Structure 1
Amino acid sequence: MSVAAALPLGATASGYSFLGDLRAFERNDAGATASCDGAALRLHFVEDDVVRVTLLREDRRPRLLTHALVGREPDPVEVTVEQGKDATVLATAAMRVELAHRGCRMTVFDGAGHVLVQDDSGMGTGWDGNEVRTWKRIAGDERFFGLGEKSGDVDKRAREWVMWNSDTPGYGDASDPLYQSIPFFVGLREGRSYGVFLNNSHRSRFNLGAGNHRYYSFSAEGGTLDYFVFAAPRIAEVVADYTALTGRIPMPPRWALGFQQSRWSYYPDSEVLSLARRFRERGIPADVIYLDIHYMDGYRVFSWDPQRFPRPAVMLDELGDMGFKPIVIVDPGVKEDPDYPIAREGLAGDHFVRYPDGETYVGSVWPGRSYFPDFARAATRAWWGGYLARLREQGVRGIWNDMNEPAVWGKAFPNEVLMRDADGAADFKRMHNLYGHLMAQATYESLRAARPDERPFVLTRAGFAGTQRWSAVWTGDNVASWEHLQLGIRMMIGLGLSGAAFNGTDVGGFEGTPSGELFARWMQVGAFSPFFRAHTAHDTPGQEPWSFGERIEAVAADAIRQRYRLMPYLYTLFHQAHDSGAPVLRPLFWHHQDDAQAYAREWQHQFLVGRQLLVAPVTAPGVALQKVYLPAGRWLELGTGEVFEGGRAVTVETPLERLPVFLAEGGILPSQEAMQYVGERDSGTLTLDVFAGANDDGFDLYEDDGRSHDHERGGYRLTRLRAQRDDGVLRLDREVVHDGHRVPARMLELRLHDIAEPPVELSLDGTRLQDKAWHHDPATRVLSVRVREHGARQSLLARW
């Protein structure tokens, strides 16, 4: 006899109470509320393919979380309701929710009638005191991706994952939880995607088939069971729906895509300036230098050490003159010091978190005994933001929020401490996972208010769902090992699938010292990571591009220069993330969802950068030959010019100087001249590498000023680039489809790949090109054409 048959629905032998039978059903415009024995379920359709499910308990007042949601006004959704003898069905144009009358068990179908999410028949939804949980039937082929910053494989199945922001230095592949909590995953069942977002900030658990083959479940230790189910058929659409709900990354300043150099710590000011000069003297591009905690006076936030940095504004100006954008670390702990103005003001303004009896909480962290700002209060965010604005006026260009899990020595920030949220006081059981999110909000909003026409840059260690609206993220205190290089790639993929598109690792590893080979391979990965920063701990040797000898310096410098050359392509991908939520760094299955090999563990360290580029990094020592899986289609290896048929694994040579990068057929890759820093000068040439085929995927190149918010008012240019090759004819079209931003005059360097013979005819806009305007190299099979960019449309035609 099955468990469901042995125990009546609603049985509490396990300690849980379960939803009982349907007793009443009340319809509204966007869904319905079903009253069941013991509680009620509210079903609210946010979109045609998004339903919100909320458990309404008779013994609990619902207090729904708003911090992760953007609060937009949704379009009305047409919902039909059909009540049958055993079940009631609510349907939209894209999904169907069936509620069984016995036990109020819910099943979510896509528009074609395929099961996506199905309550376990014996348990469904239940609670045990403050804990709320729902159990879902797991299919044999079900996969789970996302959950934000998590260790393990890209597929999160067969483990239980905890959402509780934790300072976990030197974490490993089995470590959990880590610094950020994003309770959202993308599921894949019989090839069809769906998503689930648990809108609850309490400590939560996602058991994705760990220790059983019957169910997956998600739960929270308090608050309301409030979750969204997304029923889009493609993974990209699920992430788009999720980020429409929780927000997308703002367009970053373009310089934030440049190379960033950090360590714990560069000091005094003479060392910082010497570091900057060495980059420029060696001709290695870089945009950012970080100042870690040793720039402060006794770790007092918003202070400068008077011996190490006696004239900070002068130093910051000198860095700016060399093209560097200095970023400083800002920790939330405020030193308990009666002579310290920040501490006095914070106490006087009631800006610090408190115990329930009103006493100000004091914990120990870098400054010693410290207070912690109550970032849930708008007044506190504004007070804190005023000091951030002063840093910006001194010449600081970005803020690095650290230790904001919040971390304290002993790793036990008290749960009973209170923050005062917009709807009343709330303890840290509810607010702990939101602390870093609210600190990031305070930072972004204050920087934008201080410089309304300048894009802020914020980096955070801790966060929650929706933090991507305020900040870039990185994967915390990793380790200098080959295992962590691999883990970092998987973590970046997971973060991107969870809405946090602007993410990266500490290149080279924070703890320990990499070998030269590991550092070089990590720099190659960093060049294609959304956030590209080298960083290391205070007790390690230097970890700059030149720290490992001439050969490694040459490899590292080449990776950095490649990053700067690809800036037009990468910047466009950031706009795609801003516009649709699509990650910059994508798993193979993002664009190849129906390819079983795209999910194989063997290939999980390969990734796509946008649609066009496939990167297959070397993640183990001494690898001179590497197997690479290429999805269906033809692929051009950019380093060698060799063309491969996809749908299979191929073997490529991988000397230390080579990172295998492939351009998909139909792809157009824009690039520019490498510069010492972003904006050093106008790029006089836009290069387009074209691998034309029968399809014309092409590329839509996005450009704006890279610094202001004019793009929000239409101040950008969008250029549609398309190439097609068939029956001895290759056609390349360029069309400006939105022209709200002036681009300086420039040349177009067109490199047409896989061209065995020179054309018999080559024309631009119907005018035959002179021989001096183009060149064919039979050795590389590249046809190079150089023309001036002009007008809204241009068309190159080649015939053989």
Structure 2
Amino acid sequence: MKISRRDLARGLAATGAAAAASSLTYAQPPVGEKKSHAAWTQVFPGVWRARIGEPERITPVTVRAVPPLESAFAHLPAVAMPPISAIEAQQTERGCLLQLPLQPEEEIYGLGLQLLSFAQRGKKKTVRVNADPRGDTGDTHAPVPFFVTTNGIGIFVDTARYATFYFGDVRHKPSQPEASTARASLDPNYTQSDTATEQAAITIEVPRAKGVDVYLFAGPTTLDAVRRYNIFSGGGVVPPEWGLGFWYRADAHSTTKSALALAQEFRDRNIPCDVLGLEPGWQTHAYSCTFVWEPSRFSDPKAFVDAATQLDYKVNLWEHAFTHPASPVFAPLEPHAGDYGVWGGLVPDLVGAPARTVFGDYHGNALIDLGISGFKLDECDNSDYTGGWSFPEHSRFPSGVDGEQMHNLFGLGYQRAIWDQFLKRRQPTYNLVRSSGALAAPYPFVLYSDLYQHRDFIRALVNSGFSGLLWCPEVRDASSEEDLIRRLQSVIFSPLAMVNGWYIQSPPWKQLDRKKNNAGELLPDWEALEARCREIIGWRMSLVPYLKAAFARYAEDGTPPFRALALEDAGDNSLRDVDDEYWMGDRIIVAPLFAGEAERKIVLPEGKWHDFWTGEIVSSREFTVPHTREHIPVYIASGSVMPWAAVGPHTGAPERNKLIVRVYGDGAKSFEWHAGINHLMLKWSDGSGLIEQSGSAYSKSDYSVTEWKHFE
């Protein structure tokens, strides 16, 4: 891994200067309020903890599903000392107040799935669960009290409270008078001090807490700090191969007949698809949920699932956790629910093991054993702006948490209840969820949203890599054919490639207008648009071997498979604000196009790059591409060897084991995938290629290379 001189210098400067910075002091606290400096205690290689006061009993760490992946720390550089000497802490009537140094030019990223901003220095953010943020306040589907800085420092505050982070925008009052001012206050040339260049502090308030544990993850690089956090979380998830294929969610009013007809249509028209999703209409009652099949639509659920399986589909079911009184699980779940309901249903205490067991066992016995391969866990976040449908913060739950804590932990507990059932059956799964949080890297769940701005979706994808999260920029509505194509191109290069057609009877390439689609009025030339979409979906199938390698590395050393350019090289100032491009794996950069924009600017890291599609060498690090470009802009590092699989109807099709291997430049960067004893290596040397493979994964059908395609 390359470490720039700038990044190294900053890391060394942080180690020395941080001690001085940590001596920043508060004004004298009020009587009865106590302040202190909390020292670090090493808990894992390159990871330290500071304990302030008496932490709460239930926190992300105490209810975690997966322990740290201790062996993986050996993959990272050794760090002997914490780069910050201590934390200044203060107990107040409001809760717990913390302060850390912030160096000049040190930028900050993270705090979970932030859709509305990227770089966080100079901002105030509250990590609060909310499905419908109305401003850049920190509200998000997946708040994570973890951030990293460009000095190679990661900080995790182990709390389920709505903690507030002030990133350099809080300063103590002046203590000395001055004889005069340098400029008149109304001088038009007057500018305030620049928070990016001055010595500042990070201030964190954890409300209603008598103490808190704070973890420090030392780089030396920013990427290393994120890796340590992901390893501390338990290591990254490795999805089943079918999860990396293409997904389609059918109309909410689907029946056995219509859903299977759609599945057959995809096979007949050579549209690749692995997962068929059903929306709320599969249940007898959906808001709240019964988790029981609606007999007028699905009279024989097992026959339906078996028929879908015969067509080589996995079936995914929509639901939320709020449990209707008519549900079979209502009575055994009622003693393990909160004191408030949602949509006339129970709110199960999924932080506690009893509720997870009751709720999960029902799903396992009634649905997973039927053949269901995964779930879409909806509305497990919160909403203050769309009717206030969720439970209040003053709710109480049998596990001892209140509503505030439950909001920050509910999505994680929900995931765990479902995931436990697949683990018991030793069955791989890949799912969707609308809320997650801290330490979620091992969870086989991908976030999504009912919000729909394309740029915000890409920013969320870029930000997700800072916090151990995965994000799906799903395709739903499209304002034009261009919008559909650009959104579909983006989702193909993401952790989960899905079109969500819950509101239309026919796929969007047949008719974009919702009313006309549902009335059966199709576009006169829909087959041409379908052909373009079929080609793009085919790209996803070709990318699966490469994606498998990226996720395998995520599990091995914590490297996010999708991540910001700034995370890879935090010392490059030209990359610090790039929130619309991202790394996919270890050699590809994706730069989506957005409908209605005449052109877009591309910024690439230092090094030699090729256009992925044409193989042409890129002559500049910064340039623009026009909106007329047909393919999504994708760039690959020179020297890369890249597998490109054959397209088949689904990921398990035998023809997909045939590879075209693309070689860019001298081919010095071999491609390697390994998981356990399974191994695949693609090499290029002296103008010829070599494939090596071994392990049980290849006992029935090995990969074979049909062509080595070399780009000079």
**TM (normalized to structure 1)?**
0.74
Q: 1:247 to 1:514 in 2, by over 3 A?
A: farther
Aligned to 1:534: 499
Structure 2 Cα separation of the partners of residues 696 and 266 of structure 1: 52
**Is the counterpart of residue 440 in structure 1 residue 415 in structure 2?**
yes
Q: Deviations over 1:119-143 (max 9, x none)?
A: 6xxxx32232252121233333121
Structure 1 Cα separation of the partners of residues 229 and 403 of structure 2: 26
Q: Which amino acid aligns with 1:252?
A: P
Aligned to 1:154: 118
CA contact (8 A) 1:496 1:503 kept: no
Pairs within 5 Å for 1:153-552: 153-168=117-132, 171=133, 174=136, 176-188=138-150, 192-210=151-169, 213=195, 214-223=200-209, 224-262=211-249, 265-299=252-286, 300-337=289-326, 340-347=327-334, 350-353=335-338, 361-365=339-343, 369-389=344-364, 390-405=366-381, 410-411=388-389, 413-421=391-399, 425-449=400-424, 451-452=425-426, 454-479=427-452, 484-500=453-469, 502-508=470-476, 513-535=478-500, 538=503, 544-548=508-512, 549-552=526-529
Where structure 2 has 5 or more consecutive residues not aligned to the other structure, the ranges are 1-20, 172-194, 513-525
CA contact (8 A) 1:246 1:466 kept: yes
Aligned to 1:131: 95
Pairs within 5 Å for 1:634-783: 634-646=608-620, 648-652=621-625, 655=628, 657-693=630-666, 696-702=668-674, 714=676, 716-723=677-684, 729-730=686-687, 732-736=689-693, 741-742=698-699, 744-755=701-712
Q: Which amino acid aligns with 1:233?
A: P
Structure 2 Cα separation of the partners of residues 688 and 564 of structure 1: 14
CA contact (8 A) 1:373 1:380 kept: yes
Q: 1:555 to 1:592 in 2, by over 3 A?
A: farther
Structure 2 Cα separation of the partners of residues 341 and 70 of structure 1: 30
Pairs within 5 Å for 1:623-638: 623=598, 626-638=600-612
Structure 2 Cα separation of the partners of residues 72 and 640 of structure 1: 43
Report SS of the residue matched to 2:292: coil
Q: Deviations over 1:470-492 (max 9, x none)?
A: 3322231112xxxx211111111
- Of residues 585, 596, 608, the one that matches 2:562 is 585
Q: 1:145 to 1:551 in 2, by over 3 A?
A: farther
- Structure 1, 398-407 or 553-562: larger mean CA deviation: 398-407
Q: 1:67 to 1:264 in 2, by over 3 A?
A: farther
The Cα of 1:430 is off from its aligned counterpart by 3.0
Where structure 1 has 5 or more consecutive residues not aligned to the other structure, the ranges are 21-35, 78-91, 98-106, 110-117, 354-360, 703-710, 756-800
The Cα of 1:668 is off from its aligned counterpart by 0.8
The Cα of 1:445 is off from its aligned counterpart by 0.6
Aligned to 2:53: 56
Q: Which amino acid aligns with 1:717?
A: N
Structure 1 Cα separation of the partners of residues 550 and 320 of structure 2: 31
CA contact (8 A) 2:319 2:376 kept: yes
Question: Comparing both chains, which one has the higher relative contact order based on Cα–Cα distances under 8 Å and sequence gaps of 6 or more?
Answer: 2
The Cα of 1:736 is off from its aligned counterpart by 4.5
CA contact (8 A) 1:261 1:544 kept: no
**Is the counterpart of residue 144 in structure 1 residue 108 in structure 2?**
yes
CA contact (8 A) 1:667 1:697 kept: yes
Q: 1:400 to 1:412 in 2, by over 3 A?
A: closer
**Is the counterpart of residue 94 in structure 1 residue 79 in structure 2?**
yes
Q: Deviations over 1:148-187 (max 9, x none)?
A: 111223212232222222232xx56636412212111111
Q: Deviations over 1:691-744 (max 9, x none)?
A: 133x82322134xxxxxxxx6xx3x422333445xxxx5464544586775362
The Cα of 1:295 is off from its aligned counterpart by 1.4
The Cα of 1:546 is off from its aligned counterpart by 3.5
- Of residues 594, 601, 614, the one that matches 2:589 is 614
Report SS of the residue matched to 2:490: helix
Structure 1 Cα separation of the partners of residues 466 and 415 of structure 2: 20
Q: Which amino acid aligns with 1:490?
A: R
Structure 2 Cα separation of the partners of residues 296 and 531 of structure 1: 25
CA contact (8 A) 1:460 1:471 kept: no
Cα RMSD (Å): 3.0
Structure 2 Cα separation of the partners of residues 689 and 249 of structure 1: 27
Report SS of the residue matched to 2:297: coil
The Cα of 1:563 is off from its aligned counterpart by 0.6
Which is richer in helix? 2
The Cα of 1:210 is off from its aligned counterpart by 4.1
Q: Which amino acid aligns with 1:221?
A: P
The Cα of 1:297 is off from its aligned counterpart by 0.5
**TM (normalized to structure 2)?**
0.83
CA contact (8 A) 2:463 2:563 kept: no
Q: Which has the larger radius of gyration?
A: 1
Q: Deviations over 1:552-577 (max 9, x none)?
A: 32332211100101111111111112
- Structure 1, 307-316 or 207-216: larger mean CA deviation: 207-216
Structure 1 Cα separation of the partners of residues 491 and 56 of structure 2: 47
Structure 1 Cα separation of the partners of residues 316 and 233 of structure 2: 27
The Cα of 1:518 is off from its aligned counterpart by 0.9
CA contact (8 A) 2:501 2:508 kept: no
Aligned to 2:187: none
Q: Which amino acid aligns with 1:298?
A: H
Structure 1 Cα separation of the partners of residues 305 and 203 of structure 2: 51
Q: Which amino acid aligns with 2:617?
A: V
CA contact (8 A) 1:10 1:17 kept: no
Q: 1:460 to 1:412 in 2, by over 3 A?
A: closer
Q: 1:222 to 1:568 in 2, by over 3 A?
A: same
Report SS of the residue matched to 2:662: strand
Q: Deviations over 1:9-33 (max 9, x none)?
A: 67235x993515xxxxxxxxxxxxx
Report SS of the residue matched to 2:535: helix
Q: 1:208 to 1:620 in 2, by over 3 A?
A: farther
Q: Which amino acid aligns with 1:17?
A: E
Q: Which amino acid aligns with 1:660?
A: P
Q: Deviations over 1:27-67 (max 9, x none)?
A: xxxxxxxxx7xxxx35310234221111026xx88776412
The Cα of 1:673 is off from its aligned counterpart by 0.6
The Cα of 1:296 is off from its aligned counterpart by 0.8
Q: Which amino acid aligns with 2:204?
A: F
Which is richer in strand? 1
Q: Which amino acid aligns with 1:671?
A: W
Report SS of the residue matched to 1:55: strand
Q: 1:142 to 1:332 in 2, by over 3 A?
A: same
